[in-house]
């Protein structure tokens, strides 16, 4: 038996999404920028998809720009938001995704901004009082804080951050890659200037996503070329990916409550069973109201060959992650776990679930985990 518990890294493509994409691949090959019939048909698919996304998020199609994924969307929001608005100060946390932290650090290194880091506690929760102090003590700021941490699952209160940013006239960028399609987002009420999506995190295709830019904010393109995306992102559009994204998001919203109940049930059950293993510790928030229901981060007791834990789980047929998948293959420990002061001598595993996972798979994983822990006891 092989089980996949690395859905925070990427999710399986939904068969219905695949069908929608294949249908387009077979018949709609026109360049959306062409004015002939083939081009117009392709263009109509993109605009229909844009309207679908905007309707689900309760915003205007004019505020949705399709990208190659979350990293491009984050980079565009951060670089263009800061540079085009002449901002010289930014606030983030040490546990943000590298698409955010590395972009901001590059801007600081090049002398564009001064970068401040808001405090987070041992569960990865933002210190909102410190955030307000940073906003108060500095000139107009750019704030980038993710909705759910991709390694811990800890949720940030977007509404509270948005209110503080409004109070101090700051621009607010929120990386919503892990929560888009898992929670409803009402962008007509949220006081965020930028939010992002990567389709492959919600059973859509890799290589496509979008950036929401609030109509009150004007930015210039990061990628120049043609006049695609209303002159905001040069390059021939990924029609198949865009259609797949909108279909995946539409399906996610249709069955969101049922999927949340199912996945939360699996996470809660796994936590209850793992808690019976002496020395196990859960990283991040464990309260269901404060934690992303798809992510469970577990530190196991210190053991010999701790760095082999993931390898042993893989050999046993369990695909999981030791942290952010974007850092896999490096010998550098998780910057997120380092940021919350986790014990570096205890191996940590992120299990992340999807609608396709079952109780049987959790039981299989638990049996293998107990075997590995027993051998290393």
How much is the pLDDT for 374? Answer: 72
How much is the pLDDT for 327? Answer: 42
Q: Which residues contact 167 (CB under 8 A, 6 or more apart)?
A: 135
CA 248 to CA 334: how far, in whole Å? 30
- Model confidence at 326, pLDDT cuts 50, 70, 90, reads very low
**Stretch 112-123: mean pLDDT:** 98
Category of 137 on φ-ψ map: left (φ > 0), alpha (ψ -120 to 50) or beta: alpha
Instruction: Confirm if 139 and 358 have CB atoms less than 8 A apart.
Output: no
CA distances to 83, 104, 216, 374 from 76, rounded to whole Å, are: 10, 12, 16, 48
How much is the pLDDT for 183? Answer: 98
Which of 165, 197, 326, 373 is flagged as catalytic? 326
- Which of the residue ranges 38-47, 50-59, 187-196, 326-335 would you say has the lowest mean pLDDT? 326-335
- Which of the residue ranges 93-107, 263-277, 295-309 would you say has the lowest mean pLDDT? 295-309
pLDDT, tens digit, 9 for 90 and up, residues 67-111: 999 999 999 999 999 999 999 999 999 999 999 999 999 999 999
Instruction: Confirm if 104 and 78 have CB atoms less than 8 A apart.
Output: yes
How much is the pLDDT for 325? Answer: 39
pLDDT, tens digit, 9 for 90 and up, residues 22-79: 999 999 999 999 999 999 999 999 999 999 999 999 999 999 999 999 999 999 999 9
**Stretch 160-179: mean pLDDT:** 98
pLDDT, tens digit, 9 for 90 and up, residues 197-233: 999 999 999 999 999 999 999 999 999 999 999 999 9
CA 151 to CA 320: how far, in whole Å? 12
CATH fold of the domain at 3-12+255-375 = 3.90.1150
**Stretch 153-166: mean pLDDT:** 98
Domain limits, the chain:
3-12+255-375, 15-254
- Model confidence at 304, pLDDT cuts 50, 70, 90, reads low
- Alpha-helical (H) ranges within the chain are 15-27, 37-56, 70-84, 98-109, 128-137, 158-167, 228-231, 239-254, 256-274, 309-315, 335-339, 359-375
- Model confidence at 305, pLDDT cuts 50, 70, 90, reads low
How much is the pLDDT for 342? Answer: 87
Residues making up the chain, counted from first to last: 377
**Stretch 301-322: mean pLDDT:** 84
How much is the pLDDT for 375? Answer: 57
Q: Which CATH class is domain 15-254?
A: alpha beta
How much is the pLDDT for 328? Answer: 47
**Stretch 14-29: mean pLDDT:** 96
- Which of the residue ranges 143-147, 249-253, 313-317 would you say has the lowest mean pLDDT? 313-317
Q: Does residue 326 have an active-site annotation?
A: yes
pTM greater than 0.85 (yes/no):
yes
CA 95 to CA 271: how far, in whole Å? 23
């Amino acid at each position: 038996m092989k089980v996949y518990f690395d859905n925070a890294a990427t999710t399986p493509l939904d068969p219905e999404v695949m069908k929608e994409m294949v249908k387009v691949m077979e018949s709609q090959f026109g360049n959306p920028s062409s004015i002939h019939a083939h081009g117009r048909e392709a263009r109509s698919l993109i605009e229909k998809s844009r309207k679908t996304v905007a309707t689900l998020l309760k915003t205007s199609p004019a505020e949705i720009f399709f990208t190659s994924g979350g990293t491009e969307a984050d980079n565009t929001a951060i670089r263009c938001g800061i540079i085009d608005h002449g901002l010289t100060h930014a606030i983030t946390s040490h546990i943000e995704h590298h698409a955010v932290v590395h972009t901001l650090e590059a801007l600081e290194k090049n002398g564009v901004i001064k970068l401040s880091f808001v405090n987070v506690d041992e569960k990865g929760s933002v210190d909102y009082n410190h955030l307000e102090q940073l906003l108060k003590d500095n000139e107009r700021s750019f704030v980038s804080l993710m909705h759910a941490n991709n390694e811990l699952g800890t949720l940030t209160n977007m509404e509270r951050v948005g209110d503080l940013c409004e109070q101090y006239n700051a621009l607010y960028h929120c990386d919503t890659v892990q929560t888009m399609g898992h929670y409803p987002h009402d962008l007509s009420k949220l006081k965020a200037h930028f939010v992002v999506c990567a389709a492959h995190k919600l059973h859509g295709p890799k290589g496509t996503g979008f950036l929401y830019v609030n109509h009150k904010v004007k930015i210039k393109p990061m990628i120049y070329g043609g006049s695609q995306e209303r002159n905001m992102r040069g390059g021939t559009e990924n029609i198949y990916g865009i259609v797949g994204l909108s279909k995946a998001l539409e399906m996610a919203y249709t069955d969101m409550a049922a999927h949340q109940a199912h996945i939360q049930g699996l996470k809660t059950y796994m936590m209850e069973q793992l808690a019976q293993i002496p020395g196990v510790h859960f990283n991040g928030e464990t309260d269901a109201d404060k934690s992303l229901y798809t992510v469970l981060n577990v530190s196991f007791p210190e053991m010999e060959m701790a760095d082999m834990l993931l390898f042993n789980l893989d050999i046993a047929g369990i695909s999981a992650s030791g942290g952010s998948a974007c850092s896999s293959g490096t010998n550098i420990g998780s910057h997120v776990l380092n940021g919350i002061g986790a014990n570096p001598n205890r191996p940590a595993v992120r299990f992340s679930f999807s609608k396709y996972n079952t109780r049987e798979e959790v039981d299989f994983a638990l049996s293998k985990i107990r075997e590995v822990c027993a051998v290393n006891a």
